Amino acid sequence: MVQQSTRILLDLLPAEVLYQIVSNVGANNTTKILQDRQFLLNNKHLKHAIDYEIQKTSTYRFDNRVTRLSTLGSWDDHWRDATISDFMTLEEFKIFDDYCVEEKLKATSRISYNIKSILDYFELEELIAGLKAGKETRLALNLNFDYSGHIDGTELPNKLIYLKDRVVELSLDASYKFSFEIDVGTLENIEALRIGEDEFTGTLVDCHKLGNLSIRGASLLDMTKLPASLETLDLDYCSVDKPTVASDVATFPKVKNLFFKDFDIEDWDSIKNLFHYVISSKVENITFNSFNTEYGDDWFLGLLEDLADEHDLKLNSLSITGAMDTSYTVFPKHRLVLYNEGNYYSGYNRPSISAVPNTLTELTLHNCSFNIKELFRDRPTNLKSCSLRGCSLTFDGEDIDFSKFKYLTYLELGEVTIGNDISKIRLPDSLKFDKDLVRLKVTYSNLSTWNVVFESGSKLQYLCLNYCDLESINMCFPPLLKELNLARNNLSEIPLEVAYLKKLRILTLSENKIQSAKITFSHNSLEMLDLDRNRLSEIQLLFPKGVSNLKRVNLESNKLEDISMNDIGHNGETKHDNFYELSVLSNRNLTVEQITALVPCVPRSTRFLWGADPEKQRKNYLTGSA
């Protein structure tokens, strides 16, 4: 807690200077100050600057994945940093949210919970039960269940009803094993709802502020019982019932965004009813996902043509997934995505794209056929993203001239029939490693060595080079790099340059040919080191003095003959007080006695020490459990 004082010098600064300071720091990083109310009372100008910044930014996020160390290091959506969460601990978020509610600040707390275990759900329930009720600080709740066991969620609706004035968004992505049912009529301020048919009672038409609705599994949805306020409608495996009143007097919501997904569509009339009910000249974005490979989806293309003629549609985005065998005649202004899922040879599918407007910025064609000359005849000069995968291209002697698209920054040519015509490809200057690039992933490339030079001022934070046959790396890594994944190559040593990356948090070197891991890190930023499946016979990590951030070290499947905490840098000068997990499994020369000797030496924060028991089974030596 901040030392209490009558007033600090910071509070004496001009208001505009205080605003700038708080803006640079970030209101979400002021939780230590926010919990000291007396300090804020004594420094009212600083408090006013914090309150102003909170309401200016308005939305703050907490995602429980940033606290789950068990999946640290997985190459996914890089949830580990502030890209998805403004708070790194649950306690920080709770302090911040309590402050906003008590001070009646106009802001939104967005909570995302990924439920992987029953403990995650218990933590969620405790959090919801501890949130304060109010009206000014809004609450958006997103729950994703990745847990196969049964969860009794019958108490959660009551906790949410207590917060009904705050709840503006509720998203549930759960299985049938989650017992939950809420009366949507009690959520008076709900604006966005994603829910299954069996997870709610009440009438949606009473949700007068509802603008975004996503429903899963509705058997016979009555469109007349949806609120007129709807702008986005997302139907997932739903069928649409005929109106309970005559269609000429019934009232239907006219949406801007319509998303539909189903398998094996047989009731085409139901889907046609849906589109006729809710489509008008207001619609801007349509997504249709069908996997009905038996009957095909050409009927939908015909329906779309009829609707375009009837309402003079001016779409911004059109995305169609289905089994189709006819030409496309309805085109959006900015984004066109066509995934052909039919059991046909691509040569039978020839979508005509000559009418694509030159305003198009994104083009995705998968498993389609066309003439490359047609594709570029009326080229969209503003194209930024182009993905052609599984397509059969004909050239008629034409070069593949992508250089005509001066703004193109993403290009994918996967499984396309280019053959010897690859020599004709010309790329634009915009396809380069720009200094604003944050993430780069290169896989399955026979590179042998990596000599790429990144621009000065590079903002690259995530670099993955997997299955690239790399034997050496000759480069200066971008200074802002947080994660470096060099797994599944032929490296014989750790690139020494990584020791000087002051923001590096995750270093993955699994499945290489490294025999010795002796490295002195110049910073304490490293959180995870993965040296799984190498040829290590020795390891010596050194870190700067003080408390490190190291949490996980994976040394599985190597040739170590001895191991100590000193070997991984935990010694008298450096303390791994945040350590979580060490694995030395499948090091055949390590004895049970050597692993057991580690138990009293690991930091108190350690939860897992993995090794083999006398029967060669996986064992956590800290708990004795297999």
More confident residue, 505 or 327: 505
Q: Is residue 497 part of a domain?
A: yes
Q: Where are the beta strands (DSSP E) in 242-382?
A: 257-262, 285-290, 317-322, 335-340, 362-366, 369-371
**What is this structure's pTM?**
0.73
Looking at residue 220, what is its pLDDT? Answer: 77
pLDDT in tens, 91-119: 999 999 999 999 999 999 999 999 988 88
Residues 483 and 503: beta-carbon distance below 8 Å: no
Which distant-in-sequence residues (6+ apart) come within 8 Å of 244 by Cβ?
A: 222, 224
Number of domains composing the chain: 3
More confident residue, 551 or 446: 551
Q: Is residue 277 part of a domain?
A: no
**Same structural domain, 406 and 493:** no
Q: Is residue 368 part of a domain?
A: yes
Residues 415 and 390: beta-carbon distance below 8 Å: yes
Q: Is residue 502 part of a domain?
A: yes
Residue that finishes a domain, picked among 57, 73, 104: 57
Residue that finishes a domain, picked among 12, 33, 57: 57
Q: Is residue 309 part of a domain?
A: no
Residue bearing tokens 């539909």: 260
Domain encompassing residue 29 = 1-57
List the one residue out of 148, 63, 75, 72 whose CA is nearest residue 608.
72
Report d(CA 601, CA 582) in Å as an integer: 12
Q: Is residue 100 part of a domain?
A: no
Whether residue 73 is predicted with pLDDT greater than 90 in this model: the reply is no
Torsion on CA atoms 328, 333, 337, 340, rounded to nearest 10: 0
The mean pLDDT value of the chain amounts to 85
Which distant-in-sequence residues (6+ apart) come within 8 Å of 318 by Cβ?
A: 285, 286, 287, 330, 331, 332, 335, 336, 337
Looking at residue 595, what is its pLDDT? Answer: 94
Whether residue 316 is predicted with pLDDT greater than 90 in this model: the reply is yes
**Same structural domain, 476 and 517:** yes
Report d(CA 347, CA 351) in Å as an integer: 11
In this predicted structure, which of 190-204, 444-458, 473-487, 495-509 has the lowest mean pLDDT? 444-458
In this predicted structure, which of 185-189, 257-261, 445-449, 578-582 has the lowest mean pLDDT? 445-449
Residues 207 and 191: beta-carbon distance below 8 Å: no
**Same structural domain, 568 and 476:** yes
**Same structural domain, 531 and 412:** no
Percentage with pLDDT > 90 across the chain: 49
- Residue 617: C-alpha distances to residues 256, 490, 612 (Å): 57, 29, 5
Report d(CA 329, CA 351) in Å as an integer: 8
**Same structural domain, 496 and 378:** no
What is the CATH number for 501?
3.80.10.10
Mean pLDDT, rounded, for 523-531: 94
**Same structural domain, 443 and 521:** yes
**Same structural domain, 385 and 530:** no
**Same structural domain, 409 and 459:** no
**Same structural domain, 386 and 494:** no
Look at the alpha carbons of 146, 151, 154, 159 in this order and tell me if their dihedral is positive or negative.
negative
**Same structural domain, 426 and 549:** no
**Same structural domain, 379 and 525:** no
pLDDT in tens, 361-374: 999 988 877 777 67
Q: Is residue 130 part of a domain?
A: no
Tell me whether residue 83 is exposed, middle or buried, using C-beta atoms within 10 angstroms of its C-beta: 0 to 12, 13 to 18, 19 or more. middle
Residue 436 DSSP class: T
Q: Is residue 457 part of a domain?
A: yes
Side chain identity at residue 529, one-letter code: L
Residue that finishes a domain, picked among 432, 455, 474: 432
200's enclosing H/E stretch is strand 200-201
Whether residue 532 is predicted with pLDDT greater than 80 in this model: the reply is yes
**Same structural domain, 401 and 449:** no
pLDDT in tens, 445-493: 666 666 666 767 888 888 888 888 888 887 788 899 999 999 999 999 9
